[in-house]
Structure 1
Amino acid sequence: MSVTITIQDLIKKYGDTTVIPELSLEIKKGEFFTLLGPSGCGKTTLLRMIAGFNSIEGGTIHFNERVINQVEPGKRNIGMVFQSYAIFPHLTVKGNIAFGLENRKLSKAEINAKVDDILKVVQIEPYKDRMPKNLSGGQQQRVALARAIVIRPDVLLMDEPLSNLDAKLRVDMRNAIKDIQREVGITTVYVTHDQEEAMAVSDRIAVMKSGVIQHLGTPQEIYQRPANVFVATFIGRTNILEGSITKSAGSYDLQFGSGYSEEMTNIEVPKSDSKADTLNVQISVRPEEFILTEDQTGMKATIVHSVFLGQNTHYFVDLASGQRVEITQESKTSQILEPGQDIYLKVKQDKINVYDAAGELNYTRGARL
C-alpha cells in the first residue's frame, strides 16, 4: 500500500485549448500532497487525470514503475473522496463502508473485521448502524473517507472534501483527515482552493495557475519565500509595494519610494539583471512584517480603521503615496490606535520578499528566522 506518483510532461487539451502544458511532478510515497490554486487553474483536471477520469493527450503518469495512462480507473487501486460525499443514502454507515470490500469478494468475516477497524480509525463506531440522513455533515464526510481507505488503496485522492462544511467543522475535519492520513500512511493528493486549509494539512503544496505549477514546496517555504508575486498574494495576506534596489558594497539598498530605505544583505540578482546599478522592484510585506516606530525616517502613514481580533489588531493605513496597506500588531489594553492618527512604519528586512519589476522572480534568498 502507498506508492510514489511520477508525472512526466503531462498534457491535457480540450479541443485546441491546452489547459495543462507539459507538467512534471513527483509525489513521494506516503506524502500528503496538495494541489492549490484558484478556480480554473487545472488542479481538479490533474487530479482526475491521476484517477483515470480524464484523458491524457501527452506525457505519462507512473505509480511506482507502472505506467497507468491506459489503466481503467477501477483497476488503479485508488480511493476517492468527493466534495459531495457521494455516500449511498439507502445503506447504513457500515453498509457504505463495506461496499468496496464486497465488490472485491472478501469473506463476510474479513469484511466485518476491516469495517470495524476503520470505524475506530475515523471515530464513527457509535454510528455504524445509522442511515446517512441521520448523520451530520462531518460524520458523513468521515463515512466517505472510511469507505475510500478501507480498501487499502495505493493512492487516496480528495477533491475539495471540506467545502460543504461550516467554518468550525472544516477546521475539525481537516485536523482529523491529517491524523487519519498519517495513521494509515497512504499517498494522498488533495485538491483545494483554500490556502489556510492547504497550509494546515500538507507535507508539500503545488501552487497552480493556468495549468502551470508556480511554486512547489513545504507550507513554510511557500509562505516565507514565495516564488513570485502571484504566490505571495495567493498564500496568506500581503501588501505589494513598489520600490527600487541600488548596488552598495556587498549589499543592496532597498528604497521604498518615500525616503525610507533598508540595507538588504540577502538579495541575489541574476547576471542578466545585474548590469544596471538600480533596478525597479516589487516588495511583498505581510501585515505582521511591518514595525510601528517613532523614528520619522520610516514610512509615514495614517490610520484609516482597525479590526480587533483578540490577540492581534489589524490596521488599515494610508501611506503618503495614497496606497492603502494592512498591518498587524499585537493587541494591547487601551492602546488601539485611532482613525486619523499618524504613525511611522519600518519593515522586518529579513522577512520581506523582493521581486523583479514584473513580479516573476524572487531576488530574496536565505532561510527566514
Structure 2
Amino acid sequence: MSVTISFNNVIKKYNDKPVISGLSLDIKKGEFFTLLGPSGCGKTTLLRMVAGFNSIEGGEITFDDKVMNRITPQHRNIGMVFQNYAIFPNLSVKNNVAFGLKNRKIPKDEIERRVDHILDVVQISQFKNSMPENLSGGQQQRIALARAIVMEPNVLLMDEPLSNLDAKLRVDMREAIKLIQHEVGITTVYVTHDQEEAMAVSDRIAVMNSGVIQQVGTPREIYQRPANIFVSNFIGRTNIVERSLKKVDNRQVLIMDENYQIDLDDITQYAEEIIKVSIRPEEFTISDTSEGMAGVIQHNVFLGINVHYTVQLSNGENVEVTEESTLGEPLEPGTEVKLLVNKEKINLFHYESEKNILEGDSYAK
C-alpha cells in the first residue's frame, strides 16, 4: 500500500524551456514529504509529474523499482487532494467517499466496511448522511481526504490542500492531516508555499527555487542549519548581516562590532574575509550588561507570547529581535540596548556562493 518514490535526473520542459533540469530525489516508503517553495518554483509541476498529468522529457520517476514515465494516471494507484476539494454537492458524505469504490465495482459490503472505517479515521462519522453544503470547510476537506485514502492508494498527493481555509482552521487541519497520514502510513507528497505549514506536517522537506532543490532535510535541520542564504531567508524570519571573520591568536573570531566579538568553535577553513551571517530574531538577547552590540529600539509589537522589536544598530543597520513577553513590560522606542548573540544558533555563509560554511551540527550540543 506504500512505496518509495525516486526521481532520477528528471527533466521537464515547457515550449523547449527547461522548468526542471536533472532533478534527483528519493522519498521513503510511508514518509510525509513536502515540496516547499515560492510560486513558480516547480513544486506543483513535479507533483503533477508524479501523478502522470505532466509529461517527462528526461530521466525517470519510479515507484519502488517500477518506472512510471509512461504509466497513465488511472493506473498509478494514487490518491489526490486538491485545494478546491472537488466534492460532489449532490451526494451525501458517505456517497462522496464511496464514489470511487463503486466505480471499481467493489462489493457492497466491502464498500460499507471501508467507508465506515475511513470516516472513523478522519473523524466525520457523525456526518455520514449529511450533505456537503451543511458542513464546514474543514469537514469538507476531511471528506476529500477520506475519498482519496479509502481507495488504498500507494501514493497520496496533496496540492495546497489548506489554502482555502481560514487561519485557525488551517492549524487544526494540518494537525489532523499529519495524524491521519501517520495512521494510514501512505507515502505522501505534499505541496505548499507556507513555511509554517510545511514545518508542522512534514517528516522531511525539499526546499525548491527555480526548479532546483536547494536543500532536503527534516524541519529542524532546514530551520537550524540552512544550506544557503535562500533557504535561510525562506524558512522563518532571519537577519542577514555582513561581518568580518578574522583569525586572532589561532582562534576564529567573528567581529560583530568594534566592542563585540564572538569566538567560533566549528569553523576552520576561512582565515580572514567578509561573510554573511544569519541570525534569527529569537537568537538575540537584549543584555543588561555592557557587553554586546549597541543599538536603539525603533519600535515594538506585542504579540501575546512574544514581543517583536526593531533595533537600529550603531552602524545604521536595522535588525529584528524577539523576546518573551513574560520578561516584563516592552521596551519603549528610543531605549538604548546591547544585543548578545547565541553563537550556537547562528549560520555563516560564503559571501559570493552564499553557501553555509559551518561544520557539523552545533545544535545537537
> TM class by shorter-chain length?
over 0.9
Contact 1:245 1:278 in 2 (8 A): yes
Q: What is the CA distance between 1:252 and its match in structure 2?
A: 1.1
Q: Secondary structure at the match of 1:182?
A: helix
| Counterpart in the other structure of 1:317 | 311
Identify which of 317, 327, 346 aligns with 1:352: 346
Distance 1:43 1:359 in 2: 24
Q: 1:251 to 1:27 in 2, by over 3 A?
A: farther
| Counterpart in the other structure of 1:69 | 69
Distance 2:146 2:3 in 1: 19
Q: What is the CA distance between 1:358 and its match in structure 2?
A: 2.6
Q: What is the CA distance between 1:248 and its match in structure 2?
A: 3.9
Q: 1:359 to 1:309 in 2, by over 3 A?
A: farther
Amino acid paired to 2:341? V
Report the count of equivalent residues.
Answer: 363
Q: Pairwise mapping of residues 285-324 of structure 1 onto structure 2 (< 5 A)?
A: 285-324=279-318
Q: Output the aligned Cα RMSD.
A: 1.3
Q: 1:56 to 1:233 in 2, by over 3 A?
A: same
Amino acid paired to 1:281? I
| Counterpart in the other structure of 1:97 | 97
Q: Secondary structure at the match of 2:180?
A: helix
Q: C-alpha offsets along residues 165-192 of structure 1, whole Å, 9 cap, x if unaligned?
A: 0000000000000000000000000000
Amino acid paired to 1:214? Q
Contact 1:229 1:359 in 2 (8 A): no
| Counterpart in the other structure of 1:137 | 137
| 2:169 equivalent to 1:175 | no
Q: 1:334 to 1:279 in 2, by over 3 A?
A: closer
| 2:82 equivalent to 1:88 | no
Q: C-alpha offsets along residues 75-131 of structure 1, whole Å, 9 cap, x if unaligned?
A: 000000001101111111111100111111111111111001101000011111111
Q: C-alpha offsets along residues 203-252 of structure 1, whole Å, 9 cap, x if unaligned?
A: 00000000001010000000000001110111011000110211245541
Normalization by structure 2: what TM-score?
Answer: 0.97
| Counterpart in the other structure of 2:5 | 5
Q: What is the CA distance between 1:359 and its match in structure 2?
A: 5.5
Contact 1:251 1:267 in 2 (8 A): no
Q: 1:157 to 1:365 in 2, by over 3 A?
A: same
Identical amino acids, percent of aligned pairs: 62
Contact 1:241 1:256 in 2 (8 A): no
Q: Secondary structure at the match of 2:19?
A: strand
Task: Please say which of residues 201-210 and 12-21 is displaced more in the overlay.
Answer: 12-21
Distance 1:70 1:62 in 2: 11
Q: Secondary structure at the match of 1:350?
A: helix
Amino acid paired to 1:135? L
Normalization by structure 1: what TM-score?
Answer: 0.96
Q: 1:332 to 1:309 in 2, by over 3 A?
A: same
Structure 2, unmatched stretches of 5+, are none
Distance 1:257 1:359 in 2: 24
Identify which of 334, 337, 341 aligns with 1:343: 337
